[in-house]
């Protein structure tokens, strides 16, 4: 009897579907991945309600759908394939079937929806959405998806309801540890962590938790070190359900470091963005470089504060690359010793500066004596020429001649000091240019490093002694 009723009902619905008007659509409960069944059902129900509001389609009654599924010996959760959906749709007399899944990664939810043509069995339209925040915010996401899956733009009022910020522009990304080439794996992992942190700061990507990624890789029988190929990365990315994977390598050639990073689409396997940078200096400076790289690989301009660190901050200060002989030369020409200070040769800098100051002081003293004696000559000579007292004339002449002698001595002393100062100045300039900036030696490198140990999953304080 019940079979007969269902058949009659289906026939009736089919006849309705054949009528002119919006196409008939049935919505299967979305498959829950990482969330309870009832939450998936509730959210699917909200999708149905909103689809009805679009007026673009006619929604098939849910109870009729359940009856047909029961008749076919299926549950909604069991009808996940396109073929099943098409078969059920035919029985319902619907032109389209909507199915999908709702997943959860950490505190991030993903929605994948698909509208399948019952007649052809092909996917007519697919939509995905990503949301980070409390589960209640998913209601607005489902409502928006209801409009988008039928090919319409969601109304502004609905978009305004969207909670937890605009995540539609965000992409899901997983970052594999950068392959170390010439640096330690601990350094590489620490830099990768810093890279991941900076990716998060861009607010343009939802990053998969490192632990979740490691678990997936372990399930697949990989270790982080082994999964360096694009195939492995794509496989892991697919397992994680992310859109993009980022992998790369950090290499060292002499004093030069290279960072190569690639972001590729997990679905297509195509490289979305490849970026590389070269850095010369201490390994610490790589932190800033890799932070900048994180912004660039997301297609964003790094913040000025970050670029400032590279130009005039820690990176520039720690690396001797920016210091040149010409820079030392010009500085030593402006102020004696400055070029040596600039070249990290403080002792020589103080020597030249002190020497110049001492000679300058002596030259000033000589000049002061010269001025006094000069005034004496002028004064005594004037008195001598004006005098008509024979007793005064000779003493005045003697005083004037003595003052003249003092002037000559003062001039000689002054010239000597100036020449000495000039010689020292030239020596300072030549020294600054020939010796040049001091190169970093191993002894000057930091002996204490804070690094991240991936196996212990905790930071480590590392102490190292340079043997060169």
Partner 1 sequence: MRWTKTILASLTFVFLACELPEPEAIYDNPLDGGNTSSSALVFVPEQSVTNLGGSVAVEVYAFEVTGVAGIHAQIQYDNTKLGVSTVSLGSFFSDAQAPGFVWEANNGILDIYTFYMGSDGSKDGTGPVATVVFTTSLPGNTNIEFTAQSELRDSTDGLIQLNELGTGTVSAQ
284: left (phi over 0), alpha (psi -120 to 50) or beta: alpha
- With tokens 């959760």, the residue in question is 77
Closest separation between CB of residue 326 and partner 1, Å?
Answer: 8
By CB under 8 A, tell whether 422 contacts partner 1. yes
Nearer to partner 1, 80 or 372 (CB): 372
Query: 363: Cβ–Cβ under 8 A, 6 or more apart, which residues?
Result: 414, 417, 418, 421
Please return the burial class of 174, using the count of CB atoms within 10 Å of its CB with bins 0-12, 13-18 and 19+: buried
Quick note: the x/- pattern for partner 1 over 282-321, rule CB under 8 A, is ----------------------------------------
Cα distances from 136 to residues 142, 156, 310, in angstroms, run 11, 19, 43
Residue with Cβ nearer partner 1 (217 or 424): 424
Residue 400 binds partner 1 (CB under 8 A): yes
Binder among 377, 424, 432, 451 for partner 1 (CB under 8 A): 377
Binding of partner 1 at residue 225 (CB under 8 A)?
no
The secondary structure of 283-306 as a DSSP string is: GGGHHHHHHHHHHHHTT-PPPHHH
Q: Min. distance of Cβ 341 from partner 1 in angstroms? A: 18
Q: Which is nearer to partner 1, 425 or 452 (CB)?
A: 425
**In whole angstroms, how close is the CB of 312 to partner 1 at the nearest point?**
20
Length of the chain measured in residues: 468
Asked if 387 is part of the footprint of partner 1 (rule: CB under 8 A), the reply reads: yes
Axis crossing angle, helix 304-311 with helix 286-297, rounded to the nearest 10: 150
Q: What tokens were used for 333?
A: 């020409």
CA dihedral (325, 329, 330, 331) positive or negative: positive
Binding mask 104-143 for partner 1 (x = CB under 8 A): ----------------------------------------
The reply to whether 368 sits near partner 1 by the rule CB under 8 A is: no
* Binding-residue total with partner 1 (CB under 8 A): 31
- Report the residue number, 140 or 329, with the smaller CB distance to partner 1: 329
Cα-Cα-Cα-Cα dihedral sign, residues 147, 151, 157, 161: positive
- With a CB cutoff of 8 Å and minimum separation 6, the contacts of 434 are none
- Tell whether residue 449 is a contact of partner 1 (CB under 8 A): no
Q: Which residues bind partner 1 (CB under 8 A)?
A: 329-330, 333-334, 367, 370, 374, 377-378, 381, 384-385, 387-388, 390, 393-394, 397, 400-401, 403-404, 407-408, 410-411, 414-415, 418, 422, 425
């Amino acid at each position: 009897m019940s079979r007969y009723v269902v058949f009659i009902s289906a026939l009736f619905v089919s006849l309705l579907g054949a009528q002119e008007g919006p196409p008939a659509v049935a919505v299967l409960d979305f498959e829950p991945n990482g969330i309870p069944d009832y939450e998936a059902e509730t959210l699917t129900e909200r999708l149905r309600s909103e689809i009805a509001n679009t007026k673009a389609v006619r929604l098939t009654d849910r109870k009729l759908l359940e009856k047909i599924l029961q008749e076919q010996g299926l549950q909604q959760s069991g009808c996940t394939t396109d073929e099943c959906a098409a078969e059920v749709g035919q029985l319902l007399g619907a032109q389209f079937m909507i199915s999908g899944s709702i997943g959860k990664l950490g505190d991030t939810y993903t929605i994948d929806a698909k509208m399948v043509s019952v007649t052809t069995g092909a996917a007519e339209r697919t939509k995905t959405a990503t949301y980070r925040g409390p589960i209640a915010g998913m209601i607005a996401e489902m409502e928006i998806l209801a409009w988008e899956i039928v090919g319409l733009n969601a109304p502004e009022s609905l978009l305004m309801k969207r909670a937890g910020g605009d995540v539609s522009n965000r992409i899901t990304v997983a970052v594999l540890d950068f392959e170390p080439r010439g640096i330690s794996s601990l350094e590489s992992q620490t830099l990768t962590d810093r890279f991941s942190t900076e990716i998060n700061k861009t607010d343009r990507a939802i990053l998969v938790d490192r632990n979740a990624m490691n678990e997936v890789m372990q399930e697949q029988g990989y270790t982080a070190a082994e999964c360096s190929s694009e195939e492995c990365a794509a496989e892991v990315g697919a397992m994680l359900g992310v859109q993009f994977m980022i992998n790369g390598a950090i290499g060292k050639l002499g004093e030069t470091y290279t960072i190569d990073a690639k972001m590729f689409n997990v679905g297509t396997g195509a490289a979305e963005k490849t970026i590389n940078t070269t850095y010369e200096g201490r390994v610490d400076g790589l932190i800033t470089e890799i932070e900048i790289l994180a912004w660039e690989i997301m297609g964003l301009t790094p913040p000025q504060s970050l670029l400032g660190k590279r130009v005039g901050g820690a990176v520039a200060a720690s690396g001797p690359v920016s210091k040149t002989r010409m820079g030392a030369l010009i500085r030593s020409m402006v102020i004696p010793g400055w070029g040596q200070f600039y070249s990290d040769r403080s002792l020589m800098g103080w020597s030249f500066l002190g020497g110049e100051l001492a000679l300058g002081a002596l030259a000033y003293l000589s000049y002061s004596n010269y001025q006094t004696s000069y005034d004496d000559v002028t004064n005594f000579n004037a008195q001598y020429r004006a005098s008509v007292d024979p007793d005064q004339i000779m003493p005045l002449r003697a005083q004037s001649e003595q003052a003249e002698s003092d002037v000559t001595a003062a001039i000689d002393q002054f010239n000597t000091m100036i020449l000495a100062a000039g010689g020292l100045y030239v020596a300072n300039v030549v020294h600054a240019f020939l010796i040049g900036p001091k190169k970093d030696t191993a002894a000057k490198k930091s002996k204490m490093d804070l690094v991240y140990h991936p196996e212990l999953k905790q930071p480590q304080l590392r102490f190292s002694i340079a043997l060169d």
